[in-house]
Amino acid sequence: MPVLGTHATNDPVIGPSAGTGMAVALNVDLRAIEHAVCAHNMRNRFAGLYKARKCVDRAEFWGDIVTTIGADQQINVLEFGVRQGRSMRYWSEHFKNPDTRFVGFDSFIGLPEDWTENLKTGSFSTRGKAPDIDDPRISYEIGWFQNMLPGAIARRQQQLAGSPLFVHLDADLYSATLYVLGVLANHFDEYYVAFDQFHLDENRALADFMTAYPFRVQFLSYTADKAGRCLAFGRMKKIWFEPGR
């Protein structure tokens, strides 16, 4: 019988085969299915992305974020997925208001689960060490998002109130991205958001989040390369829930 893909990530048993009474195992490439779902989202649910400003590369894309939000405006920046601090350094150098605050969220011991065939549990580890960036406006919340994020937001509620919020999502994983979006929805009705891996798991996470939560995204800019990798920037906003909308 036909199979999907050639690299099995799961071998589900799908009921008895018609007329035989025997269970049939399908060799399913789940990653291929995930890619197909993301491509469908891009063509349909997130078609508005392609009406946003297109940047030629990451450098222009990041610059567009700073210009759109305002380099001198007092804001709060929450970054999920810090690793060695490349993007955190950029934000701190370009968002210049002395009262702007930056909070980096990361375990610093790598991915909590396998992401791709080549990026397994523990990938991206810095052996528990947060990047040493010479800026007193930066602080870190270290641990798994699912354990520490609600408490971290609660502790910082006063700090986060009253100033525009920019969320940089570079968590890579579907589970981590979806969890962060869900927690933020309980505290913030509107914020800027950038996705660093919008062509895969972050894409699916946003689509599933918007299925369950009354939020919509207005895309403002993006960049994509020939390999299909995509970064996206926009504004998340809570809307009034209406069935079927």
Strand partners for 23:
16
Q: Which amino acid is at 42?
A: M
pLDDT at site 105: 96
* 102 touches 137 (CB < 8 A): yes
Going by the DSSP 8-state scheme, the letter that residue 224 receives in this structure is E
Size of the chain in residues: 245
User: What per-residue confidence (pLDDT) applies to 2?
Assistant: 37
Q: Is the pLDDT of residue 1 over 50?
A: no
Q: What is the mean pLDDT of residues 135-148?
A: 94
Give the three-class secondary structure for 143: coil
Residues 176 and 150 in one domain: yes
Domain match, 157 and 189 both: yes
**243 inside domain:** no
> How many Å separate Cα 15 from the centre of its chain?
36
Task: Give the pLDDT of residue 119.
Answer: 63
Q: CA distances (Å), 83 to each of 100, 164, 227, 238, 241, in order?
A: 21, 24, 23, 30, 37
pLDDT-derived band at 46 (thresholds 50, 70, 90) equals very high
Q: Are residues 87 and 22 in the same domain?
A: no
For the chain, the domain total comes to 2
Q: Are residues 142 and 182 in the same domain?
A: yes
Closest CA to 145 of 115, 114, 170: 170
Are 217 and 179 found together in one domain?
yes
Give the structural domain span for 30.
Answer: 1-44
Is 215 inside any structural domain? yes
Residue 220 lies in a domain: yes
Residues 122 and 15 in one domain: no
Q: How confident is the model at residue 126 (pLDDT cuts 50, 70, 90)?
A: low
List, in order, residues 6 or more apart from 67 with CB less than 8 Å away. Answer: none
- Please say if the pLDDT value at position 180 is more than 90: yes
Q: Does 244 map to a domain? A: no
Q: What is the pLDDT of residue 131?
A: 86
Decide if 131 is inside a domain.
yes
Average pLDDT estimate for 114-141: 79
Query: Percentage of the chain surpassing pLDDT 70?
Result: 82
Q: Where are the alpha helices (DSSP H) in 55-144?
A: 58-69, 86-94
Evaluate if residue 65 carries a pLDDT over 50: yes
Q: Is 234 helix (H, G, I), strand (E, B) or coil?
A: strand
Contact 95, 84 (CB under 8 A): no
**Is 81 a member of any domain?**
yes
pLDDT of residue 200: 86
Q: Does the pLDDT of residue 243 top 70, yes or no? A: yes
Q: What is the pLDDT of residue 31?
A: 75
Same domain, 24 and 61: no
Q: How confident is the model at residue 5 (pLDDT cuts 50, 70, 90)?
A: very low
Average pLDDT, the chain: 86
Q: What is the pLDDT of residues 190-240, one digit of tens each?
A: 999 999 989 889 999 999 999 999 999 999 999 998 777 899 999 999 999
Confidence band for 124, pLDDT divided at 50, 70 and 90: low
| pLDDT given for residue 24 in this prediction | 58
- pLDDT given at position 218: 97
Mean local confidence (pLDDT), 96-119: 83
Average pLDDT on 15-23 reads 55
Q: What is the pLDDT of residue 4?
A: 33
